Amino acid sequence: MGRTYAAECEVAIRAVRQAVALCRAVRDEIQPEAVAKADLSPVTVADLGSQALICRALAQAFPDDAVIAEEDSSQLRRPENAAMLGSVLRYVRAIRPEADAASLRGWIDRGGAREYAERFWTLDPIDGTKGFLRGGQYAIALALVVEGTIEVAALACPNLPLEPGAIGPPGAILVAGRGRGASARPIDGDEPERSVRVSLLSDPAAARFCESVEAGHSAHDEAAAVAARLGISGPPARLDSQAKYAVVARGEAEIYLRLPTRPDYRERIWDHAAGALIVEEAGGVVTDVSGRRLEFTHGRDLAANRGVIVTNGRLHDRVLAALEAPGTSSEGA
């Protein structure tokens, strides 16, 4: 029996819960005029605060682990951004009162690794910027990669119901450990975790698929063509963030398409690592558009892959075949 990584899993859950508390506090104070600002400063404050809290927790528990994360503290080192620094500090101190400017920047920059290591964490402190701003879906995504294999994933979705169609306060954390399945638990409260499994649907025409809200993140026209080839007549569900992985993992959709918008584009690992393990442990399949497994051995990028295809497993080969049809941009990937 291999390692269970139980300690890493518990640290990850606690860390993303702290980050959710900070992100909710920021979101609750956003004024309508701030949402329209070109610099998206509320998101910057939440991103940086979330990364600081999670990287602090990882450094304390696993001081030798590298972290490949999306943000750095460069903005907070500029004199003209003193107000932003003060704002991030205020939110972080509500959870970690000992924080000062130096420690805050140090915690954030703990996520500054860029190269592959035999053991590292990858973090997206807020995945789904537009969703965060509009009060829609966003996620905090954390995963542990050991020797190129994702071993632990924690995906906090503050605005996703704990169960499909559930009534009550939103907020779910989906958790997975390699070989140990996937589960969901509430962000708030002590309810027991519950297992999540993908849909058993095998008829492609009845499949539900989801994709990014932003057309710049995925080729919507090509996704529509793939859906038509599969016989799917219903419109796609468009969600921000890795919440799309969550809805496939728990059977609310069978297909998530993230199709490249240009030939040279490569995905960032923090946008997929946590969600990929959760879907796989729920019984699904995750590959690139050519059917290759995602490779987490190239630093920040999925350099060996193009696009991402996520399914309940039973439909995966059918989706790949539809992508290979003449006229799709996945040809030659």
Over pLDDT 70: what percentage of the chain? Answer: 92
More confident residue, 287 or 262: 287
Average pLDDT over residues 83-90: 94
The answer on pLDDT for 333 being more than 50 is no
- pLDDT-derived band at 331 (thresholds 50, 70, 90) equals very low
Average pLDDT over residues 17-34: 86
- pLDDT-derived band at 3 (thresholds 50, 70, 90) equals confident
- Distance between CA atoms of 170 and 64, rounded to whole angstroms? 35
- Distance between CA atoms of 235 and 115, rounded to whole angstroms? 39
More confident residue, 217 or 49: 49
- Distance between CA atoms of 62 and 183, rounded to whole angstroms? 24
Inter-residue contact 247 to 241 (CB < 8 Å): no
The answer on pLDDT for 187 being more than 70 is yes
CA dihedral 76, 79, 81, 82 (to 10 degrees): 90
More confident residue, 317 or 212: 317
Average pLDDT over residues 264-286: 97
- pLDDT-derived band at 263 (thresholds 50, 70, 90) equals confident
Name the catalytic one among 47, 109, 271, 288: 47
Q: Is 39 exposed, middle or buried (0-12, 13-18, 19+ CB in 10 A)?
A: exposed
The answer on pLDDT for 224 being more than 70 is yes
Name the catalytic one among 44, 129, 287, 311: 129
**Domain 204-323 adopts which CATH fold?**
D-Maltodextrin-Binding Protein; domain 2 (3.40.190)
| pLDDT value, residue 218 | 52
- β-strand 308-311 against 285-287: which pairing, if any? antiparallel
The answer on pLDDT for 40 being more than 80 is no
Instruction: Give 151-196 as a DSSP string.
Output: EEEEEEETTS-SSTT--SS--EEEEEETTS-EEEEESSS-PPPEE-
| pLDDT value, residue 216 | 52
Residue found by looking up tokens 């600081």 in the block: 52
Name the residue type at position 136.
G
Segment 189-209, tens digit of pLDDT: 888 899 999 999 999 999 999
| pLDDT value, residue 219 | 65
What three-state secondary structure class fits 60? helix
Average pLDDT over residues 141-148: 98
Q: Is 294 exposed, middle or buried (0-12, 13-18, 19+ CB in 10 A)?
A: middle
CB-based contacts of 54: which residues, under 8 Å, 6+ apart? 15, 16, 18, 19, 69, 123, 125, 140, 142
- pLDDT-derived band at 214 (thresholds 50, 70, 90) equals low
Q: pTM of the predicted model, to two decimals?
A: 0.93
Q: Residue 129 catalytic?
A: yes
Average pLDDT over residues 104-127: 97
Residue found by looking up tokens 């019984």 in the block: 283
Q: Is 81 exposed, middle or buried (0-12, 13-18, 19+ CB in 10 A)?
A: middle
The answer on pLDDT for 1 being more than 70 is no
Mean pLDDT, rounded, of the chain: 91
Domain boundaries, the chain: 204-323
| pLDDT value, residue 204 | 95
Q: Is 229 exposed, middle or buried (0-12, 13-18, 19+ CB in 10 A)?
A: middle
